[in-house]
């Protein structure tokens, strides 16, 4: 009898493990994250309800912001995408910047931004302020960036020369008065 039970367990164990793994990795938990989700991936992300997503024409309405790079003011605007509005909700914001791939300066806001209702991807160009969703970082491009990607959301533009952008160690972004 013991050997029959053991054979039955051996035959059903792989299916039970698979069922357990699928259940553990599903997003049906009360908190919306599986136990295997890294803490920084979706924790703290605030999604924008579909009813609050602007139409395509509304996304191009710029929002003026005050930006200083290493203490020097520069002209800048944010677009009206949900991610840009979410960034605006964090202002004022000061970030230390580091170089990334000889193309951009990056810094990390205190939490990830909403990516709901993101506009169509565009390739970043020099002066663009963008958000890279997988890492949760802001990117200030001082050279043209990679091809358009759904993971990289252009949030606005900073009007500064490429040398100032490339050498920036600190950015402060504030709401325009």
pTM for this predicted structure: 0.66
- What does the pLDDT profile of the chain (177 residues) look like in tens digits? 444 444 444 444 443 333 333 333 333 333 333 332 233 333 333 333 333 333 333 345 688 899 999 999 999 999 999 999 999 999 999 999 999 999 999 999 999 999 998 889 999 999 999 999 999 999 999 999 889 999 999 999 999 999 999 999 999 999 987
Q: Where are the alpha helices (DSSP H) in 101-157?
A: none
pLDDT of 47 reads 35
DSSP state of 49: P
pLDDT value of position 60: 52
C-alpha closest to that of 160 among 138, 130, 128, 131: 128
Q: What single-letter DSSP state applies at residue 82? A: H
The SS3 of residue 51 is: helix
Beta bridge partners of 154: 130
Sheet holding 137-141, edge to edge: 93-96, 170-175, 63-69, 72-78, 152-159, 128-132, 137-141, 104-107, 98-100
Q: Which two tokens stand for residue 112?
A: 């990830």
Name which of 96, 174, 175 is nearest 140 in CA terms.
96
Q: What's the rounded Cα separation, in Å, for the pair 166 and 161? A: 9
């Amino acid at each position: 009898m013991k050997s029959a039970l053991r054979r039955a367990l051996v035959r059903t164990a792989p299916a039970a493990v698979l069922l357990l793994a699928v259940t553990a990795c599903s997003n049906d938990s009360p908190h919306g994250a599986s136990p295997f989700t890294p803490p920084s991936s979706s924790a703290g992300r605030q999604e924008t309800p579909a009813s609050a997503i602007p139409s395509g024409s509304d996304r191009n309405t710029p929002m003026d912001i005050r930006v200083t790079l290493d203490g020097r003011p520069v002209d800048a605007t944010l677009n009206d995408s949900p991610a840009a509005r979410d960034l605006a909700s964090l202002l004022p914001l000061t970030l230390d910047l580091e170089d990334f791939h000889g193309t951009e300066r990056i810094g990390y806001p205190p939490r990830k931004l909403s990516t709901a209702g993101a506009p169509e991807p565009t390739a970043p160009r020099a002066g663009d302020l963008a958000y890279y969703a997988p890492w949760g970082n802001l990117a200030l491009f001082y050279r043209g960036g990679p091809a358009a990607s759904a993971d990289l959301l252009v949030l606005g533009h900073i009007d500064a020369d490429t040398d100032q952008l490339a050498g920036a160690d600190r950015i402060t972004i504030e709401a325009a008065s």
